[in-house]
Structure 1
């Protein structure tokens, strides 16, 4: 009997030790699975936040470069029509024409920020470039609170609708076609818009007259 009792006690002790060890392993396994799931959730959320941040930066870059091209087109057309009787607008055949000396209107030929390639050009009936837009399709994150030069983008649901051109609905409202008469009855010169920069000039430019200035950009009536 004592031997049987001792054997039974040893077997019972072994079973209890095994159950205790198995319980610890089970708890460790559950904790490990919970940690893996938690890490996956945090990683996914971080990736989504990073993607949203990058998309906002690309959209801001697209707006900056697009508006600069739009302003350059406006300045180019105004300069080409100066002193001439021309109906409508005058547009360049390429963006490179906007960068040529002695009076470049654009710092450089920018690439499409969203595709890192060429823009989709909006051509006028004469074949000149009257505007640009990205080739990328998709819904923008930004839908409201646009700069004045492109405030008509408000509510648009596709990048393809962001067309940077001259003239456009926003610039037409910024530059009225007629100016009120001055004190002497002559038309009063409108003040230039803060959204349209002056063209870049070089010290060696001696072809333009000393008092040459660009008049406000007025959309012509076809």
Structure 2
């Protein structure tokens, strides 16, 4: 009976090990992609929640306009929503000056006529995962090309909707 050489058996073991590494790599790539999508969806949900909270805070701020000065109609920064600078006593419309959940940076402001800002939008130009089936508050976000198209604003004389 012929004996197999050890080098030939080692070749099969090496081939088997390479196959297992390939299978594990493909599996780990899929797991990584799934986690990335899950993280992205969580950031999108946070963006929608915080954006709506800021929009409501701007609405409350403008409804409580002090005097007839149009310069005070809109806040100048998010900090104005955390502590209204127009009054001496603590008046809050927003719990804190939130950062953009997508970038972790400050928001881009949507300038208001006469000064201040009437809304915020993300600095991110990435394409959102969610592109349909938004609630009525976010109906203008359908088919957005980037997160910058998700604008959270209290539009003047339009009931607060988008565009």
| 1:85 Cα offset (Å) | 6.9
CA offsets 1:127-178 (integer angstroms, 9 cap, x no match): 21111111111100011122322221111121111111112878449xxxxx
Mapping of residues 1-222 of structure 1, within 5 Å: 16-17=2-3, 19-80=4-65, 90-100=73-83, 101-167=89-155, 171-172=160-161
Instruction: Give me the whole-angstrom Cα distance separating, in 1, the residues matched to 2:137 and 2:159.
Output: 6
Q: Which structure 1 residue ranges, 5 or more long, are not aligned?
A: 1-12, 174-222
Q: CA RMSD in A?
A: 2.5
Q: Does the residue aligned with 1:26 lie in a helix, a strand or coil?
A: helix
| 1:33 Cα offset (Å) | 1.0
| 1:114 Cα offset (Å) | 1.4
- TM-score in terms of structure 2 length: 0.84
Q: Which structure 2 residue ranges, 5 or more long, are not aligned?
A: 84-88
- TM-score in terms of structure 1 length: 0.63
